Amino acid sequence: MTGSDATPSFRLAYVPGVMPDKWVRIWNERHPGVPLTLTQVPAGAAAGRLLGGDSDAGLVRTPVDRSVFSAIPLYTEQTVVVVPKDHLVTAVDEVAPEDLADDIVLHPLDDVLDWESLPGRPALERPATTADAVELVAAGIGVLVVPLSLARLHHRKDLTHRPLKDAPESSVALAWPEDAKTDQVEDFIGIVRGRTVNSTRGRQQPPARGGSADADRDGARRKPAPGKPAAGKSAGAKRTGKSGRGAPKNDRRGKPRRRS
């Protein structure tokens, strides 16, 4: 926002592989007057975008520098190996690192996994991007280890993937600059954490129009004013007996007395 009268908005960055569609849909339902702008950025560029003020928050991959960012961990992804469909490992449901001992394992420069030592044999050069590495896998040059979401993002009909056990994993978090938490960021935190629109956590929602704040909070019913009937009863309603059919049967009012 550029001024006090500017229309509020929320700018969300996200890294490749992350699918924010569900959260964006909920945002649009709850805040139709606050536009949400989505921007996909490379994983390595997300921190700079947030610190530069180009986005209010980001769906980023961990680790996050907690000296400058606040972050909420969201989920951890399964790690898979991407191979041609005719590769030997497609015969099993799960792959071990030693199963790749004879393969060239590509290591792109934008890799998001924190490896101590890659399995298999190293390539002569590192591909610039994950997309480039996928092209090399399709050409039969080697195999690629990535989080499941990136394997799905770069899906090809001639490639498949299998879970790789004992491999590093990648986690996704919602992060924002520690000193720049806005109302919009707080609202989005509530959405990713699954809070309902009436949740008491986070920012307080204004009371319903025409209603009492105390009544909305406590669910109390209004009492009728003195001298006025309660709702659903008319002022001239007669008292009824247990049968609910008017006056009791032994009511002798209105009958003439016998003369002595």
Q: Distance (Å, rounded) from C-alpha 62 to C-alpha 112?
A: 9
- Residue 47: per-residue pLDDT: 96
- Residue 226: per-residue pLDDT: 54
**Which residues neighbour 226 within 8 Å (Cβ) at sequence distance 6 or greater?**
none
* Residue whose tokens read 């609202």: 187
- Residue 257: per-residue pLDDT: 55
Q: Tell me the per-residue pLDDT of 42-84, one tens digit each, with 9 for 90 and over.
A: 999 999 999 999 999 999 999 999 999 999 999 999 999 999 9
Question: Which regions in the chain score pLDDT beneath 70?
Answer: 1-7, 199-260
- Residue 7: per-residue pLDDT: 66
What is the value of pTM for the model shown?
Answer: 0.72
- Residue 222: per-residue pLDDT: 47
- Whether 1 contacts 35, CB under 8 Å: no
Pairing of strands 104-106, 121-122: parallel
- Residue 6: per-residue pLDDT: 63
- Residue 197: per-residue pLDDT: 77
